[in-house]
Chain A
Amino acid sequence: MGDQPLTPRSRRRRLDSDSKWGLLMVTPYIVHFIVFVLGSLLASLYFSFSHYDILNAPQWAGLANYKKLFHEPVFWKAMWNTIYFTILFVPLQTILALILATALNQKLRGLKFFRLAHFVPVISSWTVILYVSDAIFNPRFGLANSFLIKIGLDPQKWLQDERLVIPLLVMIAVWKGIGYIMVIFLAGLQNVPSDVYEAAEIDGAGVFRKFMHITVPLISGTTFLVLILSTISTFQAFEQIYVMTGGALDASSAGGPNKSSLVLMIYLYQEGFTFLRMGYASAIAWVLFVILFILTALQVTFQKKWVHYE
């Protein structure tokens, strides 16, 4: 310990040079952030307080866009559709993906095939998914209706039906997204030590008890991540709904029958890019940001109650 007096100084010097290197390494990111992220963020914040039709310079409008937003029935409809989608989608996908991951975490032959099979829809584009789901839900030629007719029920309009459109979109989205969430859960499951299960088995616990009392609590950190990711992704859902409810044919009528699948992102896109009300669209974007921020903050606060870290 003879060199004790030197240690703080040398450590400090090393830290300094480390942080210089560190700063240098992150400079490209910081520049990128300032120019392309912070810059656009501030611009969109400014636009949200102005009338801006893209083609002419923005004009300051104060709170006009926000006032209009809160008095606009279509906005509230879009808000409800988004929340409805999230309420159905997030729990359904999380629970099914966890069950699937547990099943595919066994040491059996052929599991790789099943894991792969569930991942294929994840990497397919929405356009491909559209063709697949059209083969099933096409009101005239689809499998679903020919099945209904065969068992003596009335054919449905499926995606053209106000009541069915969101549940159907959720089902299709779960089918497409479940592989991705399953992989995250699989990674979490691999980290659960097998001796815990062995101990439980010795105590005579069955499959269900092991799942509920060991698996679920021990991967709660992963579950937490999945919940945040899924919630954010549903609030940002755009492509699926745009492609599947008519946007590809006619941008101004995307959003399903009687706006029953008009979610916030589609509403934002239409107002901003189709109807040239970029100021109003920016206001929607900021409201969306605030909602997501609050939701994520709530989830982080409540995680202390139920997330276990080893």
Chain B
Amino acid sequence: MTLLAALLISGCSSQGKGSGEVELKLGFYSSAQSDEKMQELITKFQEKHPNIKIKTESSPYNQFFQKLDTQIAAESAPDIWLSDGVLVPKYAERGVLKDLTEWIQRDLKSEEYYGLDFNKDASGKYWGVPQGIQIAVLYYNKDMFDEAQVDYPIEDWTWDDLKAAAEKLTKDSNGKYAVDSSFDKNKISQYGLTFFSITEGWMTVLKSYGGGVLNDTLDQSIIHSPENKAALDWIVDGMQRELFPTPSDLKSFQSNMALFPSKAAAMRIGIYARTIDANNAGLNYDVSLLPMGPDGIRFSPVIANSWVINKKADGAVADAAWEWVKFWATEDEVQKEWASLGEAVPVKKSVANSEQFLNGSPANKQAFLDSFEFAGTLDVNAVWSEWVGKFNDNINRAFEGEIPVDQAMIQADQEVQKVLDEFYKK
């Protein structure tokens, strides 16, 4: 009898049929800056939906995703969680997420949002709703440009224009710029451009040169191409002349991201979240559109961090989870509150285009919004982190000047294809 009673009670609390109350397990990765705001928004949500009781589960980024995998295995994962944009396909293609296509088509007007499509897979299904969007632009330090008497970046720049400027902005410890004949490239004190990783670096260059890493269906490598060769040659040349730091140069700093805010580089390719570091460091900087490739192509990489719903959530719990997504996406108030943290571009166009978002530093925030016109994902698929690792392993050796670009492309192509085949050809 007691067992039966216990079963009934537990059944009620999770299904929410008895009292009409639903318990929703909400997971998110948190940081010191964002935690308080998230709790505030949860309280607001519960005031609006007194029948939904939210139980939160949060931890810092790395621990969150490590724990999540084991929780999914143990069937104790949250009903809804915040996923890094690059990890959505990892969970979607392994069958642990709910397909949100119908709900999104029913309740959200796609023309009101930036980037709903960034979570769409090759067959047109939606697996998440963006919580905030990261999009890349060119950051530049105005003081360094002024000091070197170089004109600020303009929107018509090609990558070669950028490199020409970088040459005038790269300085050695004797104060000589790279254009000077007595410039000592072994003693750099300031780089023209800092540049690293897939997001804040090489994918932009590859794609604006007409290349890329994966085909449209994201299961074939297209690394070995003349377009990629031209793009990589451009990068390697900049690194060999020490206008941009090589991967091992970057290891000298506490973090790959430290160069621009610590004034060791005059320009960087950076996502929206990097405005926080730059503002905190009190830099006199602004942003501009990313340069064009030789044929006038532009590309700005995007990561849409998104709310995703556990496939195992159903009935009242799934409905409650969707209510949370709607609350987050549709309510201007929520979008504004979250945008005030400065962590991401708001998903809702009306909020992103409001003064509240556009005001403040950097002055040209409009560049982030204009970049949506030529924005795209990072060829993200279920084995993203693995193929990025293989790509980096090989391309970094070319960046260091250890092997020629051609060899690096051939090896990267083979290794990336092997990773893809192993997952997709089963």
Contact = CB atoms under 8 A, between A and B. Distances in A.
A258 interface: yes
A259 interface: yes
A251 B385 contact: yes
Interface in B157-195: 186
A141 B252 contact: yes
A55 B73 contact: yes
Given A54-B73, A55-B73, A252 B388 contact: yes
A237 B72 CA distance: 29
Interface in A128-150: 138-141
Contacts of B66: 273
Interface string B254-282: 01100000000000000000000000000
Interface residues of B, number: 30
B18 interface: no
Nearest to A162: B402
Contacts of B388: 252
Given A252-B385, A253-B392, A55 B252 contact: no
Contact of A157 (B248, B385, B393, B396): B248
Interface string B232-248: 00000000000000011
Nearest to A139: B252
B383 A275 contact: yes
Nearest to B74: A54
Interface in B195-232: 197
A54 B385 contact: no
A275 B252 CA distance: 28
B296 interface: no
Given A55-B91, A252-B389, A253-B392, A139 B248 contact: yes
A54 B69 contact: yes
A40 interface: no
A64 B383 CA distance: 20
A274 B66 CA distance: 9
B386 interface: yes
A10 interface: no
Contacts of B90: 276
Given A160-B248, A273-B69, 10 more contacts: A54-B73, A55-B91, A55-B94, A138-B251, A141-B252, A249-B256, A253-B393, A274-B386, A276-B90, A276-B94
30 contacts: A53-B94, A54-B69, A55-B72, A55-B91, A55-B95, A56-B94, A56-B96, A138-B251, A139-B252, A140-B252, A157-B248, A159-B251, A160-B251, A246-B251, A250-B197, A250-B389, A251-B385, A252-B385, A252-B389, A253-B389, A257-B396, A257-B400, A258-B397, A258-B402, A259-B393, A270-B389, A275-B383, A275-B385, A275-B386, A276-B94
